[in-house]
A and B are shown apart, each in its own frame.
Chain A
Amino acid sequence: DAGVIQSPRHEVTEMGQEVTLRCKPISGHNSLFWYRQTMMRGLELLIYFNNNVPIDDSGMPEDRFSAKMPNASFSTLKIQPSEPRDSAVYFCANQYSQGGAEAFFGQGTRLTVV
C-alpha cells in the first residue's frame, strides 16, 4: 500500500481564489482526519470523518472551508475564497478506528496564499 496520498504537495494561489486539496486514504481504514499545521497554532484538527460521514467539523475555521468524502477512496478540503491567513501545511490522516490502531499521515500540502 502506498499509504495516504495527498495532492498537490505544494500550492501557491492568489487571495480570493478557490483551493482544493485532495486525499486518497488507505484502503479499509475507515476514519479520516484533516489537520492544519502552522507555527503559531501547531497541529489543529479541522474535520473528522468516520465511514465517509462527517462526525466532527467543529475545527473548521469558518464557512469558507468545506470538506467532503464522497466515498472511501477520496476526500477533499476546499477553501473558497482563500485568504493569506489560510497559508499552512494541511495534512490528511487515516486510521482504522477500532482496537487501538494508529493513524497514518500523508506528506501534507503546503498552501501559500498571496
Chain B
Amino acid sequence: AQSVAQPEDQVNVAEGNPLTVKCTYSVSGNPYLFWYVQYPNRGLQFLLKYITGDNLVKGSYGFEAEFNKSQTSFHLKKPSALVSDSALYFCAAYSGYSTLTFGKGTMLLVSP
C-alpha cells in the first residue's frame, strides 16, 4: 500500500532562517510528488510538484523541493522564511498505479 509520511507535526523557525519540512513516500512505480499549503479557513493550495527531470523543483512563494529517489524523500525548503509562511503544509504522492495520497500535514510556525 502506498503512503506518505511527514514525520514532524510542527516545525518552528525564525524569520530569515532557512526552513525544511520533511516528506518521505512509498508508492509503486515512478512517483508524482506534490506540496500543498493550507492557510486558516482555506482550502489546500498547490505549491509545487515533481514529475520527472531535475531533482530540484521550484514553486510558488520562493519554495523549492528536492526529490531524492534513493531516500524516497521530497523535502520542502525555503532559503529565508517569512512570518507569512506560517501555515499547514501537506505532502502528497501518486503514480500510474495509485491514487493521490496525502501526508498528515506539518504545521510551520515562523516567529518574527
Contact = CB atoms under 8 A, between A and B. Distances in A.
B102 interface: yes
B32 A95 contact: no
Given A100-B32, A100-B51, A43 B104 contact: yes
Given A42-B104, A102-B46, A107-B42, A55 B99 contact: yes
A34 interface: no
A110 B34 CA distance: 25
Contact of B102 (A31, A43, A48, A95): A43
User: Main SS of chain A's interface residues?
Assistant: strand
B38 to A, nearest CB: 9
Nearest to A37: B38
User: Contact size class for B?
Assistant: 20 to 34
Contacts, number: 43
Contact of A108 (B43, B46, B51, B92): B43
B67 to A, nearest CB: 12
Nearest to B95: A100
B53 to A, nearest CB: 11
Contacts of A33: 100
B105 A42 contact: yes
Contact of B100 (A42, A103, A108): A103
Interface in A1-55: 4, 31, 33, 42-43, 45, 48, 55
Interface of B: 32, 34, 36, 41-46, 49, 51-52, 90, 92, 99-102, 104-105
18 contacts: A4-B43, A31-B100, A45-B101, A45-B102, A56-B99, A91-B44, A100-B32, A100-B51, A100-B52, A102-B34, A102-B49, A103-B46, A103-B92, A103-B100, A104-B46, A105-B43, A108-B42, A108-B43
